[in-house]
Amino acid sequence: MPGLVQGRKGAEVINTTTRKPNRCKHCKERMPVEKAHHVIHDECIDPWRIANAEKFAIQAARKKVLAEKVDRALTMERRERLKRIPDRIKEAQKVFNAWVRTRDQHQTCISCGKPPGDMTQLHAGRDAGHYRSTGSASHLRFHEDNCHAQCVKCNQWGAGMAVDYRIRLLERIGLDRVEALEADNAVNKWTHEELKAIKSKYAAKLKELKARAE
């Protein structure tokens, strides 16, 4: 067999095949026999580093971006685990309210009747105002019939303008639906999963409304 020396019976078989020295990864010349397993000549190290400096910088930048991305993901995961029910209610309410304001962007204020284009001074800005408040009827905080666009003045300084709210709510959704809201005294204890689902649902509906308006 080539490269092997067969000794006497029972003697050790010796492999005499010599592996070719590596090629230098910079100059591509073969390494000297005594350094056959090395991958670069000593004198080629600095030129190789200089030649590859840009590549190394790009690789380092990519590693940094990836590490930061992983770190952000882990941080978000930790924050998610630490969230309490009030935190999730706040998040879901923010998205739901944004959807209500977008849905009603061409509607008048549900209480005073001011049109969107005439919201100046104290009437500037729009809130998502609840007919039955989130304090007295928390189970209706995400009910679409119970929340409509209001000017800031009516919502925050007019105690919701309940009487005027009801008058225009009757015009908008009808007596049956208003009375259904008024009679709904169910008790609901929000869960993490319910609130996450509500947030996702209205984020999707908000995105759809905005896309339709473009």
Beta-carbon count within 10 A of 93 CB: 19
Report pLDDT for 117: 66
Closest listed residue to residue 83, CA positions, set 199, 207, 203: 199
How far apart (Å, rounded) are the C-alpha atoms in residues 121 and 132?
A: 26
How far apart (Å, rounded) are the C-alpha atoms in residues 95 and 209?
A: 13
Where residue 91 falls (left for φ over 0; alpha for ψ -120 to 50; beta otherwise) is alpha
Residuewise pLDDT in 10s, the chain (214 residues) = 444 444 444 444 444 456 789 999 889 888 898 888 898 889 998 888 888 888 888 898 899 999 889 889 888 888 878 899 999 999 999 999 999 999 998 999 999 998 886 545 544 588 999 999 999 999 999 999 999 999 888 888 766 578 999 999 999 999 999 999 999 999 899 999 999 999 999 999 999 998 987 7
Q: Which two tokens stand for residue 84?
A: 């309490």
Ramachandran angles phi, psi of 69, nearest 5°: -65, -45
Q: What is the pTM of this model?
A: 0.65
Beta-carbon count within 10 A of 25 CB: 13
Residues found in the chain: 214
Report pLDDT for 159: 61
Report pLDDT for 14: 43
Where residue 137 falls (left for φ over 0; alpha for ψ -120 to 50; beta otherwise) is beta
- Quick one: how far is CA 209 from the chain centroid? 19
Report pLDDT for 7: 45
How far apart (Å, rounded) are the C-alpha atoms in residues 135 and 155?
A: 14
